[in-house]
Amino acid sequence: MPDKPGRNAIEVKNVRKIFGTGEAQVAALDTVSVSIRENEFFTLLGPSGCGKTTLLRLIAGFDFPSAGEILLHGQDIASLPPFKRPVNTVFQSYALFPHMTVAENIGFGLEMLGKPKAEIKARVAEMLKLVKMEALSGRRTSQISGGQQQRVALARALAPQPKVLLLDEPLSALDYKLRKEMQIELKRLQHETGITFIFVTHDQEEALTMSDRIAVMSSGKILQVGTPWDIYDKPAERFVADFIGETNFLTAAIANIGNGKVRATLKSGATIDATVAEGFQPKDNATVVVRPEHAKLTNGKGELSGAVENIVYFGTDTHIHVRLDSGEAFTVRQQNTRSAGCGFERGDTVGISIGNDAAQVLRD
């Protein structure tokens, strides 16, 4: 039966994974629940050691959860060995067979499944075309570049037509330019094949530009799941706001004004309206976040005031670091123009105006 769009491909329910025993015990996954939809480009984003690979390995079946369950299209797959799951993995190291040719590597999984020779040949040709490697099909994989190896690893994983493709930091070995090219390539492949991609990265920019949705992880937990827009503009917790992009944190007194909004009184005495994070509980004080590009530096008055401490030029924009009168630090990002400088100097007394709809209150 064809799969209906919008259904869940993978459901992870209250999964725990404990490594070791006694003192040396590590909760690599601490009660993780998440649903990944069919045809979705879903990214697990988080720092080293937060549990990304562990979660992929459980989905692939290379390891077992200590508690909880993993459903594939609604079916518990706990008893299915890795090769019987309609799931394939692209490892960070690619793990290609160096003595085999590009074509042999791509056909390997199909050979193992005992597919007829003619079918394998046709499928390998199709895959070579998909990853644009036709010209190098007879070359050994020890004799091709890193980016080419990456494409072969992808083709090999896609050849058996898995329902779900797991990609564990597949681009981290590539240089910046090739990495950017492969990001676009991966998006194209996902779009063309309609396969659900679960992509692991610790690179926030990569996650924002490639994903339909992102799960932000820290210390074995998923802190927030949302579209790149949600995660960037409506971070729920300090970790998420801090890990993704640059952010200003301000302490404020909070009063509820309804409609998912609060009025925040900043230490400067100014009040601004702010949206609240998912799971926010009414309270008197909370942390307000404002992205540096959503605030404007002025020579006059603003909601905040202070003195310019440092100016950092980035080519496309300039970051102006301000010490507020409250003692808090605040950075404003200003788009550069060709003809003029940033218009401010170190030591200047400045105002900062915070745009309408620029502030978000964390659940803390």
Ligand X SMILES: Nc1ncnc2c1ncn2[C@@H]1O[C@H](COP(=O)(O)OP(=O)(O)OP(=O)(O)O)[C@@H](O)[C@H]1O
| Positions that interact with Mg ion (CB under 5 A) | 53
Q: C-alpha angle 30/33/36, rounded to 5°?
A: 135
Using the rule CB under 6 A, give the single segment among 47-55, 126-134, 139-147, 189-197 that binds ligand X. Answer: 47-55
273, with CB counted inside 10 A (0-12, 13-18, 19+), is middle
What does 19 interact with, of Mg ion, ligand X, none (CB < 5 to 8 A by kind)?
ligand X
Asked if residue 52 binds ligand X (CB under 6 A), the reply is: yes
For residues 279 to 318, the per-residue mask of contacts with ligand X, x marking binding by CB under 6 A and - elsewhere, is ----------------------------------------
Question: Rounded to an integer, what distance in angstroms lies between the CA atom of residue 71 and that of residue 34?
Answer: 11
Of the candidate residues 49, 82, 160, 355, the single one contacting ligand X (CB under 6 A): 49
DSSP tally for the chain: helices H, then strands E: 8, 20
Asked if residue 50 binds ligand X (CB under 6 A), the reply is: yes
For the CB of residue 221, give the shortest distance to ligand X in the complex, in Å: 11
Q: For residue 77, which of 8, 32, 19, 11 has the smallest C-alpha distance?
A: 11
Asked if residue 125 binds ligand X (CB under 6 A), the reply is: no
DSSP character at residue 281: -
Residues 6+ apart with CB under 8 A from 297: 320, 322, 332, 334, 343, 344, 350, 351, 352
For residues 163 to 202, the per-residue mask of contacts with ligand X, x marking binding by CB under 6 A and - elsewhere, is ---------------------------------------x
For the CB of residue 37, give the shortest distance to ligand X in the complex, in Å: 22
For the CB of residue 44, give the shortest distance to ligand X in the complex, in Å: 8
For the CB of residue 18, give the shortest distance to ligand X in the complex, in Å: 9
Question: Rounded to an integer, what distance in angstroms lies between the CA atom of residue 102 and that of residue 10?
Answer: 31
Asked if residue 53 binds ligand X (CB under 6 A), the reply is: yes
Residue 355: CB atoms within 10 Å? 14
Asked if residue 206 binds ligand X (CB under 6 A), the reply is: no
Question: Rounded to an integer, what distance in angstroms lies between the CA atom of residue 165 and that of residue 239?
Answer: 28
Choose between 48 and 316: whose C-beta lies nearer to ligand X.
48
Q: For residue 330, which of 261, 270, 257 has the smallest C-alpha distance?
A: 270
Using the rule CB under 6 A, give the single segment among 3-11, 49-57, 153-161, 345-353 that binds ligand X. Answer: 49-57
Contacts (CB under 6 A) with ligand X, residues 10-39:
19-20, 26, 28
* Residue 66 · residue 105 · CB < 8 Å: no
Choose between 19 and 83: whose C-beta lies nearer to ligand X.
19
Using the rule CB under 6 A, give the single segment among 45-53, 157-165, 203-211, 222-230 that binds ligand X. Answer: 45-53
Q: For residue 291, which of 230, 352, 250, 332 has the smallest C-alpha distance?
A: 332
Contacting positions for ligand X (CB under 6 A): 19-20, 26, 28, 46, 48-54, 202
